[in-house]
Amino acid sequence: MCGRYALHSSLEEIAEEFSAKIPQQKIEKRYNAAPAQKLPVIIRQQQNYIKLFSWGLVPSWAKDPSIGSKMINARSETIAEKPSFRKAFSRSRCLVPVNGFYEWKKTSSGKRPVYITPKNAAIFAFAGLWETCQINEKTIFSFTVATTEPNNTLKEIHNRMPVILTTKQNQNIWLNEDSPAQECLKLLRPCDDAYITHHYVSRKVNATYNDAPELIKPVTYPEQSEFF
DNA sequence: CCAGACGTTGTT
DNA sequence: GTCTGG
DNA sequence: CCAGACGTTGTT
DNA sequence: GTCTGG
């Protein structure tokens, strides 16, 4: 699954990577981006835009925005059918720019956070969906991240992983709102192991109020757990 | 017909 | 909004 | 994802 | 245990 990530590239770098217009808004470098926060996504409307949307998809019919906290991920196996996602899947797909993401690996001495980054690139593109919802005269813009089974590397860490689109061609199919659903579904597969690398990081990342470059630095945990 | 759900992950 | 359960 | 709250009445 | 907030 994917519930935390880092995005420290500049807006200019992100705009360049995704051929997107640079927004007026500034964004901060993030090392601990978390659900419910406003984060940059790439959407296509005539041209590509970078927008700041809330992580946790709030369906258009929702009456309470807190439903978004349950919608931070969408299983790709059912994304086209679920009432909460199917509308966005058919017409409102987006890319989520990410420099690396965190997964928590269970060990005999507790959960340890792992940071997963691209091996030969600067930025990952997660496959996402976005939505708008009107609640109390306010429009909520939100997004979710598609998940799939893990590749061989992630299998050692966790039982799910975010969908990462590694080629420009696939990113374009995903972003184009006229792409047939069948074509889009084909993209929702674990990415090849060759694209990623990973290392353990500090448990400081557990708390969302920590957000600094040190969070993505490698740390070493004891090889063997303590005896009891 | 109306009422109620609509989600994902993993359980050390 | 749309589907399922009662 | 993890951390932290989980409640009401009525105001030091 | 389960939900909300970040």
Would you say the C-beta of A83 is within 7 Å of strand C?
Answer: yes
Q: How far apart are CA A137 and CA A160, in angstroms?
A: 37
Single pTM value for the model: 0.95
Annotated active-site residue A103? The verdict is yes
Strand E within 7 A of A207 CB: no
pLDDT for the residue A228: 42
Count of CB atoms situated within 10 Å of the CB of A49? 18
Quote the CA–CA distance of A71 and A137 in Å, as a whole number.
22
Protein A207 CA to nucleic acid B7 C1', in Å? Answer: 23
In the predicted model, residues of chain A with pLDDT beneath 70 are 224-228
SS3 A172: helix
Per the CB < 8 A criterion, the answer to whether A56 and A131 are in contact is: no
Interface TM-score (ipTM) > 0.95 = no
